[in-house]
Amino acid sequence: MKHFLLLLSLLLGLPAFAQAPDTAGQRIARLPAEGLLLSHGWRYHTGDDPAWARPDLDDSRWDTLNPTRPRRELPTRLHTGLGWLRLRFQLGDSLRLRALLLQTTGNGAWELYLDGQRLQRQGTLDPDPHRVRVNPHPPEPLELPATGRAGHVLAVRFAPWHHPLLHQSLDEAHAFSARLQGAAQRRKATAELAAAGPVFLALGSVVGLLMLLHLAFFYYNPARRANLYFALYTGALSLGALGVYSTPAVPFSSPVERLAFELLTWLLLVSSGLWAARALYALFGFRSGWLYAGLCVCCGALLAYSAVEVVHHSFQNGAFFGFMMAIVLATAEQLRLTGRALRQRRGGAAIIGVGFAAALLAVLGFIPIVTSETMYSALVSALMYPLMFLPPALAISLFLAREFALDAQLLQVKLGEVETLSAQTLAQEQEKQALLAAQNETLETQVVQRTGELQRSLTELRATQAQLIQKEKMASLGELTAGIAHEIQNPLNFVNNFSEVSTELMAELEEAQAAGDTEEVAALAVDVRQNLGKITEHGRRAAAIVRGMLEHSRTSTGERAPTDVNQLADEYLRLAYQGLRANDKGFQATLQTDLAPGLPLVEAVGADLGRVLLNLFSNAFYAVHQRQQTGEAGYAPTVGVATARANGHVAIRVTDNGTGMPVAVQAKIFQPFFTTKPTGEGTGLGLSLSHDIIAQGHGGTLAVQSQDGQGTTFTICLPVSPV
């Protein structure tokens, strides 16, 4: 067992101190190779007195104990404050003239005195156990000079250490121990232990280089994920080995930090085994399922068990058992995957099999060394660890290198095939280029012909479009003309009536003049003058109506001028109404006007804006006329126009309570050539041209809101003219 624990300390840097068989009495005739543990003959006394370090002190009345026993078996008084331990021993003749070493360990702080002279101070002593500070690193062995004296007195001023996390572990550990060794043997053993450090450093360095190599492989070929898993495996193994190497040199501030560092080293070593198994899954193309997940869970549980054992019982057999079982499970899974690959004759599986075989041979050589009692076991055991860890890592690395080489070789073959195919493709491409050149000439000729045909079609299309637009204008002109004809009839009737009356008055005036009746002549002249005024007034009214018709019919110049929107809206509302009545004498509708007084002028092309209003009013009267023809009871056709000023714009709203429009029709209402009127009654360009006139010609907006069967509202927004 003692060599087993010593082997553990070499692997993970953990303090393990061997227990020697009990020695009877205080006379030491010889020293075993591993040294002699001074476990019997100790006396102790609680309290603190510097005089208790004197060699001539009578300690015969002090109590006896074995300080190397677990602390829970020691008297309670030794756990509560400062105390002293004393041991008297006699050296045999063969040892008096030899240089000896004294190795001390303990769970507390102490001062060591030999023959009244202080040789060592470890930690900070204090009567309060909770204020005791210990050194996490074990002290170096003390060299006892060869004085030739036979009798010696070893006195230890001791203060126990308490920690709330490690109280159970401290109760299982010994309070204080001292081991006497020959200086030459100790120096040889120390040299062997020192040689073990570079072994782990070399192991960590080699696998670290393998990690960098396969990280580079993965960087250039991410599809090969086995390189990533192998890099994680070698990285964890490298850090674990370096952790073992650096444990003695790290300046820990407390034993708790040292325990945490050593547990982290265990975690890295176990995780390296799990990543190695994951790399094998990827290498052989096996699917990692519940078995691998269960393996990870089991290893995690075993590591948790080891951590609990460390806290409660220090690094004893239970903690080491959990760690080793996790390593065994991970290794067993690696062996299972390798065996499965060998049975399936997977390429390169034999390489990994050889690596694991070499590792197994190292384990078989490791077992007898652990159980041996030689002083060389620590060195040879340390040298065996590279033979345990390196062969599988090197085998997997060789496997991946082999796969890389095979991929490169296959790539060379494929490259040759590609070159051959490229030559064939080049020849075919040249033939295609010649054929393509000939086809291009043919296509160019056809393109020229088709371009001419398209140009002619475009010219015809533009002419047709112009004709359609002109037709729309003529349609609106027809509607306007009908309204104008009705409007101009009244002033013409007045002109005719007053002309006839004036003719009769002139005849009477001539008769009165012939009769010499000057008063009658003057009265008749006044009547004639009044009639002529009426004729002039109604003639001018007819001329204004004709002038408006001409402005509507002729092509717009595009010049804007300040325009009275109220006057324009009122005039075109009446003209549109009279135009519909000219076609249907029995049609009657209510006209509603809500023209905002003091409305500012807008910069607009009067003829174009009038054409838009005429189109909207005509559509509104058409809609109410269509609804009236359905015979709906109580229905009163109503068309209205309202103006208002809002947010720097003048708004014109044309409303009706006609048939309305569904949503699908509203989405298409401003598209060219879209109409809901029967064939021959509309071109479908009215609202499209109106939208263009408002949006593009005047920088305004034209929007529609409608409910099917309820009515429609068109809203024109125009910017106000600057003052």
pLDDT number for residue 23 = 36
Quick one: fold of 2-189? Jelly Rolls (2.60.120)
570: nearest Cα among 622, 640, 619? 640
Contact 589, 621 (CB under 8 A): yes
**Cβ-based burial of 7 (10 A; exposed 0-12, middle 13-18, buried ≥19):** buried
Summarize pLDDT for 336-345 with one digit per residue, the tens.
888 888 888 8
Contact 688, 670 (CB under 8 A): yes
Report d(CA 677, CA 681) in Å as an integer.
Answer: 6
pLDDT number for residue 639 = 93
Report d(CA 100, CA 21) in Å as an integer.
Answer: 20
Contact 129, 79 (CB under 8 A): yes
Tell me which amino acid residue 520 is: E
Helix, strand, coil percentages in the chain from 3-state DSSP, rounded to 5? 60, 15, 25
Q: Would you give the distance in Å from CA 400 to the centre of its chain? A: 33
Element spanning 308, H or E? helix 290-313
Strand partners, 598: none
Report d(CA 687, CA 378) in Å as an integer.
Answer: 102
> CA–CA distance from 324 to each of 81, 242, 255, 299 (Å)?
38, 19, 23, 10
Contact 596, 649 (CB under 8 A): no
pTM > 0.95: yes or no = no
User: How many distinct helices (H) and strands (E) make up the chain?
Assistant: 16, 18
722: nearest Cα among 555, 560, 574? 560
| Residues contacting residue 699 through CB under 8 Å, at least 6 positions apart | 718, 719
Report d(CA 283, CA 474) in Å as an integer.
Answer: 85
Contact 110, 157 (CB under 8 A): yes
- Write out the two tokens for 51: 């005089």
DSSP per-residue string spanning 208-266:
HHHHHHHHHHHHH-TT-THHHHHHHHHHHHHHHHHHHHHGGGS--SSHHHHHHHHHHHH
pLDDT number for residue 25 = 47
Report d(CA 258, CA 198) in Å as an integer.
Answer: 21
Report d(CA 87, CA 93) in Å as an integer.
Answer: 19
Pairing of strands 638-646, 701-707: unpaired
- Write out the two tokens for 440: 């291009």
596: nearest Cα among 452, 713, 506, 720? 720
Residue 719 Ramachandran class (φ > 0 left, ψ -120 to 50 alpha, else beta): beta
CATH superfamily of 562-719: Histidine kinase-like ATPase, C-terminal domain (3.30.565.10)
- Write out the two tokens for 608: 């174009």
Report d(CA 623, CA 711) in Å as an integer.
Answer: 8
Report d(CA 120, CA 104) in Å as an integer.
Answer: 10
Quick one: fold of 195-405? Rhopdopsin 7-helix transmembrane proteins (1.20.1070)
> What values do phi and psi take at 147, rounded to 5?
-95, -15
Q: Would you give the distance in Å from CA 102 to the centre of its chain? A: 61
In sequence order, which ranges of 88-166 are alpha helices (DSSP H)?
93-96
Contact 622, 579 (CB under 8 A): no
Element spanning 24, H or E? none
> CA–CA distance from 402 to each of 394, 398, 406 (Å)?
12, 6, 6
Count of C-beta atoms within a 10 Å radius of residue 484: 21
> What values do phi and psi take at 623, rounded to 5?
-65, -45
Strand partners, 443: none
Question: CA angle, 707 as apex, 703 and 711 as ends, to 5°?
Answer: 85
pLDDT number for residue 489 = 65
Element spanning 149, H or E? none
Residue 374 is given by DSSP the state -
pLDDT number for residue 17 = 31
Where along the chain do the CATH 1.20.1070.10 domains lie? 195-405
Q: How many CA atoms lie within 13 A of 69 on its CB side?
A: 11
pLDDT number for residue 16 = 31
Which stretches in the chain have pLDDT values below 50?
1-25, 191-192, 315, 370-376, 552, 555
Element spanning 144, H or E? strand 142-144
137: nearest Cα among 252, 304, 49? 252
Report d(CA 223, CA 211) in Å as an integer.
Answer: 17
pLDDT number for residue 656 = 93
Where along the chain do the CATH 3.30.565.10 domains lie? 562-719
Where along the chain do the CATH 2.60.120.260 domains lie? 2-189
pLDDT number for residue 484 = 60
207: nearest Cα among 396, 338, 383? 396
